[in-house]
Amino acid sequence: MTASPAAPDPETLRGLQERVAKANPAEHVEHLGQWWLRRSAGPSWWTATVLPHGETDAAELAARIAAAERFYAEAGTPARFQISPGACAAELDAVLAARGYRASGAVSLRAAVTEEVRALRAPEGPPAQVREDPSAAWFAAWRTVHGHGGDPGTERDMLERVRQPSAYASVLDGSEVIAVGRAVAEAGWAGVFGMATLPKARGRGAARAVLCSLADWAGTHAAPRMYLQVESGNQAAVRLYERLGFAELCRYHYRTEPGAAESSNRGQDAVSRSNCRS
């Protein structure tokens, strides 16, 4: 069996997180050195956080934080930073904490070997189909699990901004779509997003079937490795991904500027519910 992914270096972590940013593209992106300042309308706040990548000295770090705060203030939203060990300045988390930024979200970034995921397909799992764009039934199933009100057009618009090869997997029970997920391939990796299983269909192997069908697709799109993100506390999803060979590369969290609305706080705890859920 192929060896599991080795512990990542900072460049690998930065590369994966920047792939995530392109697979969930913001409406507006500005670059400040290696930092990505991302902004979007609507409830999908995780497409509108700072990727503060690379090391900087203390003076430059303070200047970039100030620039990021101005960038988000222009849109009337709080600044949010994704804090990933090894991918950003070591002191950034402490500096933001001292400025009153709140910590939230414990997210696990995981990776697997595509061929190993394909090999773990259940022999009598439910049927799956894969398309290059989301069908109305795919989107309806995703929204049943993750919609939480709001304008569905913002999520559709985000998917339409993706420029990399994409796959949308659906698992059927008769004619009903009961589980979905999507994958985006770039530079040897396939990222998995939008995992959702209808509550009545959980525990029947539907999420496994989605992942294995996406692994089949990744294998035909020059992506020998796969990655995904999951809330560290979502034990059902973590167990599924571990059974399918997804090993943790790192954990990351967020820091949000003080004064954000309570609704924004609740949204922060939902980052990977929009990305990966069994």
Task: Return d(Cα 167, Cα 161) in angstroms, integer.
Answer: 14
Q: pLDDT tens digit string along 201-243?
A: 999 999 999 999 999 999 999 999 999 999 999 999 999 999 9
Confidence bin at 273 (pLDDT 50/70/90): very low
Q: pLDDT tens digit string along 5-30?
A: 455 789 999 999 999 999 999 999 99
Write down how long the chain is.
278
Confidence bin at 42 (pLDDT 50/70/90): low
CA dihedral (38, 276, 235, 255) in degrees, to 10, reads: 0
Confidence bin at 150 (pLDDT 50/70/90): low
The top-level CATH class assigned to 110-249 is: alpha beta
> Does the pLDDT at position 86 exceed 50?
yes
As a whole number, mean pLDDT of residues 151-163 equals 88
Confidence bin at 148 (pLDDT 50/70/90): low
Domain boundaries, the chain: 10-108+250-268, 110-249
Q: Report the candidate in 179, 149, 157, 200 with the shortest Cα–Cα distance to residue 276.
A: 179
Residues 6+ apart with CB under 8 A from 26: 38, 39, 40, 47, 48
Task: Tokens for 5, please give them.
Answer: 């992914």
> Does the pLDDT at position 106 exceed 50?
yes
Residue-level pLDDT at 210: 97
